[in-house]
Structure 1
């Protein structure tokens, strides 16, 4: 009887241990000041390591602040020299990548040499990344004046390591008491060729637009440009372009016109507000080189935010300025709208 209790106690403890699930292994980041962060490393991109934690949600850590890192699971590493390595786990000790000898037997890599972990196919030179959005804004009013308003927008971008294609379409149709009082559309197509993997690129763009209530039957332009992709990260995407265009304008009543022009554009967006929201700005300009006092400026700026799944809403302002507008047509057209769209 003296051995009965210990034997049963040992058996009970064994069953208890088996009934408790093993703690899930966690990734670990050790900062240069000695602080430790436990969680799951979800991304390494643009000098930022993203880790999902149970105590503070998603954290973004500068690579320059990291002393060591341990992340379980196989990983594909893209380095600053564009070489690609496969490793059974992402390990960093004393700011140096720990790699199996069969992966890198004759060279060591520092943490700052790491550009991407698990890059997408297009980032490895395989095909294009297609992003886009289709959206519309619909307004209806019934009463003393019946109004119907429809705005639509389609954005598409195809991006590879070497080049980029862009297609944008915007339009507006408004009616009051069954009579149209606004009808316009514009389309823009662009091709960009990056120079030897640098942020600089050259390109060609072509655009066409119509606005019957601004006496514009058709305006189109085409021309080359040079550009620079300053930033291309979620925190800030910024690009600017400048070039020359040939412009042809056909008016309904006013005299038709064609001229050589200087053309520029600016695009910026940022998720700095968090919550998957995005501030954005698109600006294009044309300066008539034959008549220096004539300039066309288009600006779209707004804030988009997710609603559910891939559906998002956006509040934006559209400004269209034409200093050479025909007589009887306002030089500045302002539109304020809220639109809903699908993003991919």
Structure 2
């Protein structure tokens, strides 16, 4: 610039503004000076610069996903990557990111590998567990979490294949019902009844607690007073068979029965178990102890008797008409091994009709039979109950 100012006298004077502009132009051409840019322009320039980075990251993520995917190689050479869902009845269900779940003929699969643990079963019910690793066509090799890999297993011998099921959680269920019948005026009667059932289960364990209470007053005097509490524990040994332990207490003042308690154990069989229908059967030996309010001539003037007995129980319920009505039946009893005339049965039969949410109405018939009751007492008690209940 100084040189320009000292040019020949014929050159026009150069103002400070022109000098500054000319200097800026020279420096900018050499990359030594940049104009100030707006924030919006800078953001656009930065985004253009980062675009290759984001594309690279996306490709890396996709490649990483494929690297950790299960892979199925078909006999015709096709390769599928995704997630093994299950295989049974000769059909492999495979889930891909682009086509969802697809069904593949198992006999068309040449080999497969998995990133997660698989459980396979053979026709003889033998099972293996581990990750499917690379093997020859037509075979499976599983690598367990610990220990060596299995010997090659012929894929034609595999009956089922699936990921291991998640650990089962404890399941809780409850049901409470109550009813009342109150008459006043010329008739003075009050009837109250209630029962509950609590269940807690997690295979192989199942615990059920059941209780009930019935109370009646007639013309100011007590006419019925009895209760029952029953605890049942089941230990499943297989899908259907289980061992059980049972404890029961009950009392009935108008049968002169102060206390009956019993313990039982044996084997049970779960015929059905689902939300729609349930049926279980139990049988085994038991020990029964009975205490009465006064000596009984038929018991050799004793107010107590105990005996070894056989025990049985049936528990049934089933929904009908698309869960509009549920039918149920429960019964159980004892038969003395020492005296075949000493036996008792307790039954509960009825229907339940859902009303709204967890609320339901029930109509129930109770029938109890004691073949050898206290002296002067009837063999049976029966009642029809209409109740409202809550179930969870």
The reply to whether TM is greater than 0.5 is yes
1:55-134 correspondence to structure 2 within 5 Å: 91=101, 93=103, 124-134=166-176
1:279-327 CA deviation, whole Å, 9 max, x = no partner?
A: 1111101001111122111111111111111111111111100101122
Partner deviation per Cα, 1:24-74 (whole Å, 9 max, x = no partner): xxxxxxxxxxxxxxxxxxxxxxxxxxxxxxxxxxxxxxxxxxxxxxxxxxx
2:248 to 202, 207, 216: 207
Go from structure 1 to structure 2 and tell me whether the alpha carbon gap of 1:287 and 1:101 turns closer, same or farther (over 3 Å shift).
Answer: same
Distance 1:190 1:333 in 2: 24
Contact 1:242 1:262 in 2 (8 A): yes
Aligned with residue 264 of structure 2, among 223, 228, 231: 223
Residues 131, 257 of structure 1: alpha-carbon distance in 2 compared, 3 angstrom cutoff:
same
Aligned position for 1:246: 287
- Partner in structure 2 of residue 319 of structure 1: 367
Partner of 2:318: 270
Partner secondary structure for residue 269 of structure 1: strand
Q: Would you say the 8 A contact 2:371–2:379 is kept in 1?
A: yes
Bigger shift: 135-144 or 229-238? 229-238
Structure 2: which 5+ residue stretches go unaligned? 1-82, 119-131, 134-139, 141-154, 297-302
Change beyond 3 A, Cα 1:182–1:124? farther
* Counterpart for residue 281 of structure 1: 329
Closer/same/farther in 2, CA of residues 124 and 229 from structure 1, 3 Å limit: farther
Structure 1: distance between partners of 2:189 and 2:161: 57
| Contact 2:288–2:306, Cα closer than 8 Å, also in 1 | yes
Contact 1:125 1:160 in 2 (8 A): no
Structure 1 residues 52-105: Cα deviation after superposition (integer angstroms, max 9, x where no partner): xxxxxxxxxxxxxxxxxxxxxxx997888xxxx996797353787x99965676
Higher relative contact order (CA 8 A, sep 6+): 1
Distance (Å, rounded) in 2 between the aligned partners of 1:78 and 1:157? 32
Equivalence for 2:347: 299
Partners of 2:364 and 2:84 lie apart in 1 by 39
Cα distance change on mapping 1:153 and 1:101 into 2, 3 Å: same
The CA deviation string for residues 226-263 of structure 1, in whole angstroms up to 9 with x for no partner, is 10111112332111000111100001123311000100
**Structure 1 CA distance, aligned partners of 2:202 and 2:94?**
22
Q: Which residue of 2 aligns with 1:185?
A: 227
Relative to 1, partners in 2 of residues 1:95 and 1:135: Cα closer, same or farther, differing over 3 Å? farther
Root mean square deviation, CA, Å: 3.4
Structure number with bigger Rg: 2
The answer as to whether partners of 2:94 and 2:102 remain within 8 angstroms in 1 is no
* Alpha-carbon offset, residue 182 of structure 1: 0.4
Post-superposition Cα deviations, 1:102-140, rounded to whole Å, max 9, x if no partner, equal 56767789xx9599x9x9xxx843331111101101111
Corresponding residue of 1:166? 208
1:341 corresponds to: 389
| Pairs aligned (count) | 259
Higher strand share: 1
Alignment-derived partner of residue 185 in structure 2: 143
Paired with 2:219 and 2:210, the residues of 1 have a C-alpha distance of 31
- 5+ unaligned residues in a row in structure 1: which ranges? 1-74
Q: Structure 1 145/159 Cα, relative in aligned 2: closer, same or farther at 3 Å?
A: same
Aligned mates of 2:306, 2:248 — CA distance in 1: 14
**Structure 1 residues 159 and 326, CA, compared in 2 at 3 Å: closer, same or farther?**
same
